[in-house]
Amino acid sequence: MIDGFEGENVVKAVKALEFAEAGRVVVVADPGKPRAKVTIDTIEVDGKAGLVRAFDEQGRLAAFYPATVGSKDNPGPKGSHKVRTVAIDPSYTYDPEVNFTQGGVREKLEIPPGPNGPVGTVRIDLTEPTYGIHGTAEPAEIDKTWSHRCVRLTNWDADELAHLVHPGTVVTFLDGGEPAGRQRREQAQKAPAGE
């Protein structure tokens, strides 16, 4: 929190700060030290719970991340797939002939790399065409909104996972569909007052 600002408004608040003032205190997120180098053998994507679990070669839980997985209209894939490639600081190509259709956009678009792009700072491409695990420009929305079929993590979680996987790592989708956070909110909105 900075001067009463939270979440995405922190970025706007930081840009407005005058850093010429000595003694100015700025609090930032510390995602912690990088994990000890482990090799991830298997990833489980649990769309219903809004989680990604990564297991080492001995089957031990090595990493655990909150995630947004697909939506009702564009669910995540089903079954098991494999990591095909890992791209750090990727560009993003939107092609309505291959991907989902977004609004009225009908032409192919190339979006340059950067943390504010649709796939954030990392994309872990899967063997299922057009599906992947990637970062996001909006970390506060993880497990609170939907995605277009992919698995969305914070940029720092996607970056950590990208350095622990390799081509051939198995990724199993336990279920697709709407993210758990959105389902919980919609159920709460439908519940009668006082429940």
Catalytic-residue membership of 150: yes
Over residues 71-78, the mean pLDDT reads 66
Catalytic residue, chosen from 148, 150, 163, 166, is 150
Model pLDDT for residues 18-53, shown as the tens digit of each residue: 666 677 776 666 666 666 678 899 999 988 888 899
Global confidence as pTM? 0.68
Give how far the C-alpha of residue 126 lies from the chain's centroid of Cα atoms, to the nearest Å.
14
Instruction: Give the start-to-end residue ranges of the domains of the chain.
Output: 1-30, 40-180
Give how far the C-alpha of residue 181 lies from the chain's centroid of Cα atoms, to the nearest Å.
14
Predicted confidence (pLDDT) at residue 194 exceeds the cutoff of 60: no
Question: Mean pLDDT over all residues of the chain?
Answer: 75
CATH architecture group of domain 40-180: Beta Barrel (2.40)
Model pLDDT for residues 102-133, shown as the tens digit of each residue: 667 677 777 777 777 777 889 999 998 878 89
Catalytic residue, chosen from 134, 148, 163, 166, is 134
Give the confidence band of 171 by pLDDT, cuts at 50, 70, 90: very high
Catalytic-residue membership of 81: no
d(CA 9, CA 16): 11
d(CA 71, CA 180): 10
What is the three-class DSSP state of 16?
helix
